[in-house]
């Protein structure tokens, strides 16, 4: 609707000079000017044509420039969104890397304390205290890692594997060391060799996934540097 009205207005504006010249040539007081009607029609035609041509060229230049500005703004907006998205991914990768590193350190502490208990370097009370503290810290870290799963593609499956392996280690610790008299039998084998094997597998898997996260982080940083 707006374009239709604009077209009508343009036609009217362009018609006004033509009608004015045609009308003006009928005035008696303009008869003093030398030249016949055809010559003056040619003069005014060229004169008005030049003006209309200049206006048309200016209008085209304006619309072309405006289109270029809009396209540039659109491209800048797209680049800005990509830049912000990359920054967000970097932030999430950094957070995941830090949390997984903290989680693995808790696994290391728990493993070392159980091995100390096996070698009779600490008593049962000390082991239970450390075990409770480590499990509390691990639970908090797992909750925070859960919140990052929607942002990192391979994190949900890797975290699921980490938690499953951790649960196997916890069951061995509970049945074989911290509460062997509870009567519950969750772990089939609570020997020290099995504990060492299971805990070592957990540590290595978590460490390797931390390295993967670090690799993703470096790729995103390189991408950010190219975008900027």
* pLDDT score of 13: 63
Is there a domain that residue 208 lies in?
Answer: yes
Higher pLDDT, 141 or 3: 141
Both 70 and 87 in a single domain? no
CA 188 to centroid of chain Cα atoms: 45
The predicted structure's pLDDT at residue 25:
56
Lowest mean pLDDT among 34-38, 102-106, 183-187: 34-38
| Residue 174 scores a pLDDT above 60 | yes
Does some domain include residue 28?
A: no
Integer Cα distance of 26 and 41 in angstroms = 12
Residue 36 pLDDT > 80: no
Distance CA 8, CA 106 (A): 77
* Mean pLDDT for all residues in the chain: 82
pLDDT tens per residue, range 58-72: 767 767 777 777 777
- Do 102 and 141 share a domain, yes or no? yes
Average pLDDT over residues 95-113: 96
Same domain, 124 and 56: no
The residue range of the domain holding 54 is: 2-22+38-74
- The DSSP result for 83-146, as a single string, is HHHHHHHHHHHHHHHHHHHHHHHHHHHHHHHHHHHHTTSS-HHHHHHHHHHHHHHHHHHHHHHH
| pLDDT over threshold 80, residue 49 | no
Any idea which of 21-25, 186-190, 199-203 has the lowest mean pLDDT? 21-25
112 and 62 in one domain?
no
Mean pLDDT computed over 15-26:
60
- Are residue 171 and residue 187 in the same domain, yes or no? yes
Q: What is the pLDDT of residue 46?
A: 67
Question: Does residue 70 lie in a domain region?
Answer: yes
Q: Is residue 33 a part of any domain in this protein?
A: no
Same domain, 62 and 87: no
**One domain for residues 57 and 132:** no
CA-based max dimension of the chain: 128
Same domain, yes or no: 55 and 111: no
Which residue from 128, 147, 125 is spatially nearest to 136, judged by alpha carbons? 128
Cα–Cα distance measured from residue 170 to residue 174, given in angstroms and rounded to the nearest whole number:
6
The pLDDT score that the predictor gives to residue 23 is 58
- pLDDT range class, residue 89, cuts 50, 70, 90: confident
Instruction: Determine, yes or no, domain membership for 29.
Output: no
Judge whether 13 lies within some domain: yes
Domain of residue 191, CATH code: 1.20.120
Distance between CA atoms of 120 and 173, rounded to whole angstroms?
15
Q: Specify the higher pLDDT residue, 63 or 144.
A: 144
113 shares its domain with 206: yes
Q: Looking at the structure, do residues 70 and 137 belong to the same domain, yes or no? A: no
One domain, residues 151 and 51: no
Instruction: Tally the domains of the chain.
Output: 2
* pLDDT of res. 85: 81
Same domain for 140 and 190? yes
* Long-range own/partner contacts, residues 15-20 (CB < 8 A, 24 or more apart): 17/48, 17/51, 18/48
Q: Is residue 181 part of a domain?
A: yes
* % residues pLDDT > 90 (the chain): 48
């Amino acid at each position: 609707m707006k374009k239709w009205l604009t077209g009508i207005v343009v036609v009217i504006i362009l018609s006004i000079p033509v009608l004015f010249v045609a009308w003006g040539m009928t005035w008696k007081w303009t008869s003093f000017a030398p030249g016949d009607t055809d010559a003056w029609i040619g003069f005014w035609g060229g004169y008005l044509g030049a003006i209309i041509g200049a206006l048309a060229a200016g209008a085209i230049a304006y619309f072309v420039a405006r289109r270029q500005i809009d396209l540039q703004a659109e491209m800048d907006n797209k680049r800005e969104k990509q830049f912000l998205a990359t920054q967000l991914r970097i932030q999430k990768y950094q957070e995941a890397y830090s949390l997984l590193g903290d989680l693995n350190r808790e696994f290391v502490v728990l493993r070392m304390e159980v091995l100390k208990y096996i070698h009779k370097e600490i008593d049962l009370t000390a082991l239970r205290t450390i075990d409770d503290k480590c499990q509390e810290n691990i639970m908090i870290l797992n909750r925070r890692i859960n919140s990052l799963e929607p942002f990192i593609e391979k994190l949900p499956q890797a975290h699921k594997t980490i938690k499953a392996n951790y649960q196997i280690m916890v069951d061995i610790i509970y049945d074989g060391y911290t509460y062997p008299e509870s009567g519950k039998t969750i772990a089939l084998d609570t020997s020290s060799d099995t504990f060492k094997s299971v805990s070592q597998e957990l540590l290595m898997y978590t460490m390797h996934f931390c390295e993967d996260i670090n690799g993703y982080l470096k790729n995103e940083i390189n991408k950010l540097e190219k975008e900027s």
